[in-house]
Amino acid sequence: MGAAIAAWQADVPATVAYPELAAAPDDAATAAVLAAIAHWPGEHTTMARDRDEKATRFAAAASATTRIEGGADDDNAMRIRSIEGVWT
């Protein structure tokens, strides 16, 4: 297994040549694609704010749920103690 992995790794070229991209679109299709996705950075910023807001609301709801359940546990413990006290 080790020899097979070493042979596979040795077969991978050390450097990979990529063609340089043109600074400006050189055809109508590329220009159309770039124009179509130009709004994406703004959309990602908006989505990030939305995710942060929802995460904050979720954390607050989880905290409230924990407080409610903890309070219910405390109330039930007091009731159990009072019932057990009657039977002792």
In tens, the pLDDT along 70-87 reads 888 888 888 888 887 765
pTM of the model as a whole: 0.43
Residue 84 to residue 78: CA distance in whole angstroms: 10
- Residues 6+ away with beta carbon under 8 Å from 25: 31, 34
Does the pLDDT value for residue 47 go beyond 70?
yes
What average pLDDT does range 45-71 have in this prediction? 91
pLDDT grade, residue 22 (50/70/90)?
low
